Amino acid sequence: MKKFLASKLIPVCHAAFCDYQLSRYDLACIPLTQRMFQQILPLVQTQQRPQCPRCRFYVEIQQIADLDQHIEACHPENMVPCEYCYCPTDFSEYEQHRQQCASDGTGRQQKLVDYILLRTKYPFRAQQIEFFIENKMKVHHSIIHPLSIVEELAEYNDVFPMELPTRDCDVCMESCFLDDIFVFGCDESHKLCYKCYEQSCTVKMNNNEVLTCATCPYQLQYGELKQLRISPDQRNLIVEYQVQKTFDRYASGSRGVIKCPNQACTWAFEPGNPNEHFRVICHMCANEFCSLCNQQYHYRTLCEQLAVITERWFFWCSTERGRYLTERAKQDANYAVQLTEYEKQHAASRQQNEELRRRYETSVEDEKYKAQNCRYCPHCKRVVERVDGCGSMVCGRDYHGGNVQSGCGKNFTWEQAKQYKSVAIRKPEQLANELPAPESPLVVHENITCDGCHETVRGIRFDCVHCPSLIFCEKCEQRCTLAHSNENRRQGQQQHVFRLIMTPFEDVAYF
């Protein structure tokens, strides 16, 4: 060994008689001092790992003691396969592992690949292990056990037995595994290796350019930039750069932009049509909002209807539900049970009603302010405000630059814009006049099923405007909307608002 250290040559079995290259495992079997082991280890070229005689997996070692420590701690008789990822797990930690395994977001196959990766006789790439597993599953259609994969790969030593599919990078033209190729969202679906992808972004940033596909003008989206294989800090820097360039591009032209209304967030993007009403989910803070009014997204509801629906729902929850049930109970004994249930749940609804009160009061103040200070953009009908004396306007930002918000980017004058028309502020008594008369028969909403009792909706129909589809009948609405309110609170969401639909014909007016 001293001769190999002095000559810096690859250590072999015997310099004169056998050119078999020693592995780390071989070195671990030779009685060397720790100092000599560490000195000669960098000269080893072969990457064969030693095998544990207990679990039969191979062990990655950096020093002599690593293998001994592994063997001492190895008790395969206490290991059971996880029902989710199939990886051996200590029985005492099984339940905790299983719960974490099923909830951490990593796919079953990826967990299996990660487990096998450090336990093969020779190191292979993750793509190779994954490809090998996929081919085995096509043939056997059964659960794959990690040890069977390791043992089969060991038969081929350091030569991987399969040829992985590859693709040439569109820039450097080098052949890469498909897993190492990024496909852009442009119409041509250009394909770059991750190294060229990163270099393209770096060059464009150095040139103060908008980040686009390396081979076409397609502007990179947030989700694509998050796929860069670089450190989180570098990735965040690139994302923030692209957001700023989006603002700059918008401010210097007439393009529309949609910005997250969360004041602590800087995310923005250029929509295909800035005048279209659609649901936006911020890619940075996960805030969900309407593309036109920036409010909590509302299904089957125009932006200008939201204030009226909020008002009506607040009045119903705070006073009119009890009044309606009391009057109905006088005419129909079946409502007496429902009235009793309402009185029992009244205290439990207090927090929900208080949150709705704050939302309603905010809506009222907002309507008053907009009536005094705001107008409609003549192009996209968004609500706009003039912040200085100049009558020249650009929808979504100050005319002379800065203060970028969501807008279509079109020019107009303040005099051209129509005055904002606020929603009339009403009183609870006015809602009472809109409710069905106590003596009137219950309206049947044909083909509409309550999500609480799963029966056809009769009487007032309650639709959540913030959910894709959530409908309750009179009988279920208090109990179910309270549960829905509690779920909103647990998820940190704003309280959802329900639309009261008195007749099937009223429903048509909202579409």
Q: How many whole angstroms separate alpha carbon 101 and alpha carbon 86? A: 10
Between 25-29, 436-440, 452-456, 475-479, the lowest mean confidence (pLDDT) is in 25-29
> Which pLDDT score is estimated for 509?
44
> Which pLDDT score is estimated for 401?
46
Task: Give the mean model confidence (pLDDT) for residues 371-376.
Answer: 88
> Which pLDDT score is estimated for 28?
74
Element (H, E) at 453: none
pLDDT in tens, 246-304: 767 655 555 677 888 888 887 888 787 878 889 999 888 888 999 988 899 999 999 88
> Which pLDDT score is estimated for 424?
61
Q: How many whole angstroms separate alpha carbon 447 and alpha carbon 29? A: 77
pLDDT in tens, 431-448: 666 778 878 888 999 999
- What is the pLDDT confidence band of residue 403, given thresholds at 50, 70 and 90? low
> Which pLDDT score is estimated for 425?
66
> Which pLDDT score is estimated for 211?
93
Higher pLDDT, 201 or 387: 201
> Which pLDDT score is estimated for 391?
80
- In the DSSP assignment, the letter for residue 254 is S
Long-range contacts of 63-70 (CB under 8 A, 24+ apart): 63/34, 63/37, 63/38, 64/27, 64/28, 64/32, 64/34, 64/37, 65/34, 66/28, 67/25, 67/28
> Which pLDDT score is estimated for 17?
82
Does the pLDDT of residue 508 top 50, yes or no?
A: no
For 294, how many CA atoms within 13 A lie in the half-sphere containing its CB?
Answer: 15
pLDDT in tens, 98-142: 888 877 767 788 889 999 999 999 999 888 998 898 888 888 767
> Which pLDDT score is estimated for 57?
95
Q: For residue 65, what are its two tokens? A: 């003691």
- In terms of phi and psi (left: phi > 0; alpha: psi -120 to 50; beta: otherwise), the region of 401 is left
Does the pLDDT of residue 400 top 60, yes or no?
A: no
Task: Give the mean model confidence (pLDDT) for residues 415-429.
Answer: 77
H-assigned helices in 118-156: 126-140, 146-154
Mean pLDDT of the chain: 85
Q: How many whole angstroms separate alpha carbon 153 and alpha carbon 251? A: 58
Higher pLDDT, 144 or 382: 382
Does the pLDDT of residue 192 top 90, yes or no?
A: yes
Three-state SS string over 71-108 comes to HHHCCHHHEEECCCCCCEEEHHHHHHHHHHHHHCCCCH
Give one DSSP letter per residue of 291-354, joined into a string: TTT-SSP-TT--GGGHHHHHHHHHHIIIIIHHHHHHHHHHH-THHHHHHHHHHHHTTTTHHHHH
Q: How many whole angstroms separate alpha carbon 249 and alpha carbon 19? A: 65
3-state DSSP assignment of residue 167:
strand
Pick the closest to residue 478 from 343, 289, 362 (CA basis): 343
> Which pLDDT score is estimated for 181?
93
Does the pLDDT of residue 143 top 80, yes or no?
A: no
